[in-house]
Chains A and B, each alone.
Chain A
Amino acid sequence: MTRTLVTNVAALIITLSIGSASNASAQSQDDTAGRAKALSTARDQKSEQLTPPERSLTERALYWYDNHDSRLSWRGLHVNMGNFSGGAGFAGGIGLTQRAIGQPVVDPYQPNRIDLDLSAGRSISGYQRLAARVDVLNIAGAPINFAMSWRDDQMPQEDFYGIGPDADHRVSYRLDTTDTTAALEWKPLRQLSIGGAVALLTPVVGPGTDGRYPSIETTFDPASAPGLNGLPEFLRTDAIVGFDWRDSSTHPRSGGNYQVTASQYDGRHDTLNDFRRVDVQLQQIVPLGNRYRRVELRAQAALTDADDTARVPIIYLPALGGLSTLRGFSNGRFRDRQAVSMSAEYQWEAWWALDAAVFVDAGQVMNRLRDLEIGSFETTYGIGFRLHSNDAFLARFDLAYGREGFMPYLGFKYGF
């Protein structure tokens, strides 16, 4: 109904009301007439025209929605969006999440709480993922968590450009991998976590399916792309320590998060692929006057080391490019044995549910850490938008610009 129409209706009511009052007055030429009687008459008239309340189709639909679990899930079954690597294209799937199995309420401190996550997804580019994870939380009432996970990924058109900062031969390769991981975490303090993990990795590298680019074997050989001629199963062991004092893990407005992971990759029955890797991730949020404006600084380093006779497979090489490092370049654009990157974001609250950001990223890959040279850093710039609830991240869109052009990113998971 337009405002004009409403105005007309209101005017009609006011105008007609005089006539109606006139009738009331005409009927009440004696002192028994009165306001109360006029109102009573109005109610008598309405009582002859009663109708049950009616809802419009939209209201009926939303009423149903209100009363049928607003999370659009049914008994833990839900729809998944995205969560594949960049280049996978639009992806969707289903998941089953059961938190605090067997319990009427989700109690974050419940001893031996068991959570279950199952998911299956596929993208329009043929990426596919099957995953299962079981968490046992607060073991015996202690701040110790155990997780067992299994994941099978099929990634038919991953990008590879060669090794080193100047690599520029884009090819496509396939990576299928099944990872089974057991992880233990101890949180002696609320902010401090110490943990370890053991993972069995079974990667397979093969020809890529991206028709726009050559397949990897046409341009590279095992010497220039280690792992191309086959990879063993790996046993990875991790040691992890972290200190996280952010005010929210997915929508922080202040605080910091510092994580160091040291990993040992052992090729089963094949020492040629054994290597060590250390990942350092530092994040600091600096409020500017209040919680609605802030600068977020990030620094990341991924360092690998192998014996003289060993090599680091391309799929496990430190990489730059993508949503969390050098956003102006595609996912995994730069690979080498060492990678260092940093970024600075100015974020402001444009709306209670939307933060906007402008950012600059810089980073470099290199064979040896001593080759690090600030002047050789790749830099990218961009803007970003982060959709969130009052205290949790929902989705993000970043548009970055680097020397190779614009890169858009849409994500549904908060990164490091």
Chain B
Amino acid sequence: MASKKFVLVVVAITALSAATLGAQSKAPAVQDSRRFFPDDPLWMDDDMRNIAPVAKDDLSKSYDFVHHTFSKGSALSGPSVNVNTLGEVPDSSWFTNRIGVRNMTIDEVLRGPDTIDGPAPGPWEVIGKPTAGITPKFAIRDANGIVFLIKLDPASVPELASSVELIATKIFHAIGYTVPEDFIASMDPRQLRVGKNVRLRSESGGERPMTIDDVQRWLKYQPRQADGTIRVLASRWVPGKVVGSFRFTGTRPDDPNDIYPHELRRELRGLRVFSAWLNHDDARSINSIDSYVEVDGRRFIRHYLQDFGSTLGSGSTSAQQPRGGYEYLIEGDKIRKGLLTFGLWQRDWMKAKYSDLPSLGNIESQVFDPATWKTEYPHPAFEAMDAEDAFWAARIVAQFSDAMIRSIVAASKLSNAEAAEQLTKVIVERRDKVVKHWITGINPLDQFEVRRGLRGPILLFDNAALRLGITAAAGETYQTTWSSFDNMTGVEHPVSDVEEYSEPVSWVPTTEFGPADPSGARYLVATIRTMNAAFPQWKAPVKVTLRDRGGVIDIVGIDRSGAGTRVGSTTNN
């Protein structure tokens, strides 16, 4: 068994090699090793290769809680390893670049993952009542034979869970995650039938056939809309065969496509930033799906995020607990402090003010702090998030415009216009906080490109903090040092003095490219620091590698590993 594990480590190592090199690791260079391959930067990680069927691997939610709350140190640390040489996340079975790399129209964002327009009218056949999860729900097959999970809003907070789930689904899809197709639907109880041989676990523990009376009783106290229908969230059953949930550590041992330890995947670490924005405090393994799907003749596991009922102001079966997003379920130091201070010490979240509108639940933006935001219990990938991961995610968050957010909220069909307006405002304000915190936490140089200038090629870039209006220009300057780079040895050799400009631009010393590698490409590295007295952390350099292939110069590497510190654990508020 030990040798098997060793081999698996070696397999992971092989995978890591690509990424650690891609991230321009600070590890000692080995002679004749190549940092950049001809196909860098890679924008597609083909982890959708055909694999044999896998067994279902269900997670114990209790174990997940106990393990991550009381056990420290089982997760790997270090930089994200599944990024390309530009620090971006390639498309894969986990993530598809969308709003982060291209402009999406509002209509496109609103369409999200949807391939249909929702459950078809006509009779809906009730085919089961899942016991997993805490949201009241049942499964139906619509008139077109498509299966949906029908999720009911808690009667005490009508429209809350369904609206936040729809909003989160649209946003997480636009970010790049794979999510179910969710719809706000109006259900007429009279259109429900019970399928054949559908059984139900009764309150006393036995099983018996489900009847239509059972279904009508579930719906008895659901608020009715003006036309007598019931507002529900219809979540389309994900394609393929569900084979469990994914974990936020390690890899799935029976999936050959899964070679990156999950806690070292940037999209899973950066999920912390998105989750903080949307208060998705329930972003744990149990709310993910691994589905064995078939696409274009290839069978593989696709990884879904699902069940966003505990986002924004919703806690799935009630309004979000005020603690949600601010404090783990168990934090010994806070419990001690709470006990010993006789209530004189008040957590920040105890001072939060919430709207009285039931359909908003408990969500606000004033006390919210992106740095200290927390899930229900420690999350290994979130704990491993570093400043580069956060910067990557914050740039994506910044792509969501006010108008886009307003439209997404409108799509959730809140009946109270004031609630919709307040929710839009809160999401916008939380977005601004998230972007400001994580963009300015690192040297925020961005949007690098090489253009032809009057005296030759120039390297252009911008300061994301200025571009996004987070901070006004304050006389910052940009110091650039050029080095030739040997792709086979990893050795950099300075070829210029420090150049300092007030504009984000630098002339490319085209005669100083390093020696050609076997593919004939030559390389040059620009090390750029941003000097701004208000943000001393911006002095940490960003390294940009230019590649010359027969006179065609492109950017092949962006290394921010020196541009900021590891974020690590969420700090105490």
Contacts and interface: CB of A to CB of B under 8 A. Distances in A.
Contacts, number: 247
A45 B10 contact: yes
B27 A15 contact: yes
B74 interface: yes
Q: How large is the interface on B (under 10, 10 to 19, 20 to 34, 35 or more residues)?
A: 35 or more
B62 A76 contact: no
B221 A109 contact: yes
Contacts of A76: 204-205
Contacts of A44: 256
A1 B5 CA distance: 15
Interface stretch (A96-104, A158-166, A366-374): A96-104
A346 B343 CA distance: 9
A404 interface: no
Contacts of A35: 18, 22, 37, 39-40, 42, 84
A81 interface: no
Given A59-B60, A75-B204, A103-B203, A53 B77 contact: no
A49 B4 contact: yes
Contact of A66 (B21, B61, B351): B61
Interface string B187-215: 00000000000001011111000100010
A98 B4 contact: no
B76 A13 contact: yes
Nearest to B60: A63
Contacts of A70: 62
B204 A98 contact: yes
Interface stretch (B266-274, B331-339, B428-436): B331-339
A1 B73 contact: yes
B221 A42 contact: no
B263 to A, nearest CB: 11
A113 B379 CA distance: 44
Contact of B338 (A19, A45, A107, A351): A351
Contacts of A52: 55, 253-254
A51 B254 contact: yes
B215 to A, nearest CB: 9
A21 B29 contact: no
A15 B34 CA distance: 15
Interface in B23-59: 25, 27-30, 32-34, 37-40, 42, 44-47, 49, 51, 55, 57-59
B17 A20 contact: yes
B519 A31 contact: yes
A53 B214 contact: no
Interface in A10-69: 10, 12-22, 24-26, 28-31, 33-36, 38-47, 49-55, 58-60, 62-63, 65-66, 69
B65 to A, nearest CB: 9
Contacts of A106: 203
A354 B350 contact: no
A17 B204 contact: no
Contacts of B77: 6-7, 10
A75 B519 CA distance: 71
Contacts of A352: 321, 323, 327, 329
Contacts of B7: 45, 49
B214 A18 contact: no
Contacts of A1: 73-74
A348 B339 CA distance: 8
Q: Which of B63, B76, B218, B346 has the most CB of A within 10 A?
A: B63
26 contacts: A3-B72, A7-B77, A15-B27, A17-B27, A21-B18, A22-B32, A36-B39, A36-B46, A38-B18, A39-B42, A45-B10, A52-B253, A53-B55, A53-B253, A62-B62, A62-B66, A75-B206, A76-B205, A104-B200, A104-B203, A104-B217, A293-B343, A349-B338, A352-B321, A353-B329, A390-B318
Given A49-B8, A75-B204, A292-B350, 9 more contacts: A17-B21, A17-B27, A21-B34, A25-B34, A28-B518, A42-B18, A42-B259, A104-B210, A346-B342
Interface of B: 4, 7-18, 20-22, 25, 27-30, 32-34, 37-40, 42, 44-47, 49, 51, 55, 57-63, 66-67, 72-78, 84, 200, 202-206, 210, 214, 217-218, 220-221, 244, 252-259, 318, 321, 323, 327, 329, 334-335, 338-339, 342-343, 346, 350-351, 488, 518-519
